[in-house]
């Protein structure tokens, strides 16, 4: 009997080691690694739990849609993923950086370096041209003017707006403004593109054009996380994560991928 116990021990030890190695490798490959993420708020003395121990990994070059009804915790999770807020508990590793316990100044630096944001409202500076709006993150990064102008023009060309680069937001259509916002998100070559309802203010035709741009961005090697409540927009992603009541209800990779010319 002693021999049998030893034999079993010898068999299982490598398996445990393999699991540890696999877990470590997954973290290293992840752009986003969430482990038991919790978020609570206080209303008076009453604690309200919004996120209830989420675990999630998003790897490099994935295209993921995050969905959930009102009250699901989707917006709270997006703020944490975007380093706009910190979790109450748990661990968040963003491209190798543990951002869970970072102070505001450090979070701001990580946001500018690692995340490119695209918002529903575009969030462009009205007095700046398209080119100047795109170059703005490079100003904060301390890049010289000539170089940041070159970098900004390069990404403006990628979204097909080089002929409108010297126009201000009020001189552009909604779709053109969103292209400027996408170019601004790309200019710092971030690890993650985080798009929050990027087609919410656009008509159907323009929405399709914008989603095709996101597809090209992901195909060129970027990681895209799309936050949306629209099923037809989520269907452009390769993987759909659904939240409900502060937990992940489902996490599925799509097998019926949309194909666009």
Give tens-digit pLDDT for 166-218.
999 999 999 999 999 999 999 999 999 999 999 999 999 999 999 999 999 99
Q: Which of 124, 138, 234, 233 is nearest to 186 (CA)?
A: 138
Q: Tell me, what's the pLDDT at 6?
A: 45
Count other C-beta atoms under 10 Å from residue 14's C-beta: 9
Count other C-beta atoms under 10 Å from residue 228's C-beta: 25
Do residues 120 and 167 lie in contact, with contact meaning Cβ atoms separated by under 8 Å?
Answer: no
Q: Tell me, what's the pLDDT at 45?
A: 85
Do residues 66 and 225 lie in contact, with contact meaning Cβ atoms separated by under 8 Å?
Answer: yes
Give tens-digit pLDDT for 37-85.
999 998 888 889 999 999 999 999 999 999 999 889 999 999 999 999 9
Task: Provide mean pLDDT across the span 120-134.
Answer: 95
Domain boundaries of the chain, sorted by first residue: 60-89+101-253
Q: Tell me, what's the pLDDT at 16?
A: 44
Give tens-digit pLDDT for 74-125.
999 999 999 999 999 999 999 999 999 898 899 988 998 899 999 999 999 9
Tokens, residue 191: 């690890």
Q: Which residues pair with 43 in a beta bridge?
A: 46
Tokens, residue 150: 């070159």
Provide CB contacts within 8 A for 102, sequence distance 6+: 83, 86, 110
Give tens-digit pLDDT for 3-47.
444 444 444 444 544 444 444 445 557 999 999 999 999 888 888
Predicted confidence (pLDDT) at residue 259 exceeds the cutoff of 50: no
C-alpha 259/C-alpha 158 separation (Å) is 21
Predicted confidence (pLDDT) at residue 133 exceeds the cutoff of 80: yes
Q: Where does the chain show beta strands of DSSP type E?
A: 30-43, 46-59, 63-67, 89-94, 97-98, 115-119, 192-196, 223-227, 239-244, 247-253
Do residues 214 and 195 lie in contact, with contact meaning Cβ atoms separated by under 8 Å?
Answer: yes
Provide CB contacts within 8 A for 193, sequence distance 6+: 115, 116, 118, 185, 186, 214, 217, 222, 223, 224, 225
Tokens, residue 2: 């002693």
Q: Tell me, what's the pLDDT at 65?
A: 97
CATH top class, domain 60-89+101-253: alpha beta
Q: Tell me, what's the pLDDT at 29?
A: 78
Q: Tell me, what's the pLDDT at 23?
A: 46
Do residues 71 and 62 lie in contact, with contact meaning Cβ atoms separated by under 8 Å?
Answer: no
Predicted confidence (pLDDT) at residue 238 exceeds the cutoff of 60: yes
Q: Angle formed by the axes of helices 174-186 and 130-140, to 10°?
A: 20
Q: Tell me, what's the pLDDT at 141?
A: 83
Alpha helices in 71-165 (DSSP H): 74-81, 104-114, 130-140, 145-158
């Amino acid at each position: 009997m002693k021999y049998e116990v030893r034999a079993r021990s010898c068999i299982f030890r490598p398996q445990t080691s393999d699991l540890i190695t696999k877990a470590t490798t997954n973290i290293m490959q992840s752009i986003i690694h969430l482990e038991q993420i919790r978020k609570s708020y206080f209303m008076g003395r009453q604690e309200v739990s919004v996120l209830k121990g989420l675990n999630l990994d998003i790897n490099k070059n994935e295209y993921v849609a995050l969905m959930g009804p009102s009250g699901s915790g989707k917006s709270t999770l997006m703020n944490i993923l975007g380093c706009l807020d910190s979790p109450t508990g748990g661990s968040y590793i963003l491209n190798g950086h543990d951002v869970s316990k970072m102070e505001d100044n450090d979070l701001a630096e990580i946001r500018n370096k690692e995340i490119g944001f695209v918002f529903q409202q575009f969030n462009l500076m009205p007095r700046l041209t398209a080119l100047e709006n795109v170059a703005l993150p490079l100003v904060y990064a301390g890049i010289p003017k000539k170089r940041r102008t070159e970098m900004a023009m390069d990404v403006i060309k990628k979204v097909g707006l080089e002929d409108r680069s010297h126009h201000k937001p009020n001189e552009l259509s909604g779709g053109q403004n969103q292209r400027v916002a996408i170019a601004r998100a790309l200019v710092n070559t971030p690890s993650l593109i985080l798009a929050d309802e990027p087609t919410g203010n656009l008509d159907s035709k323009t929405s399709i054009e914008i989603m095709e741009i996101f597809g090209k961005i992901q195909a060129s090697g970027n990681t895209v996380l799309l936050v949306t409540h629209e099923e037809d927009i989520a269907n452009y992603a390769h993987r759909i994560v659904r939240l409900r009541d502060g937990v992940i209800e489902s996490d599925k990779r799509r097998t019926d991928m949309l194909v666009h010319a």
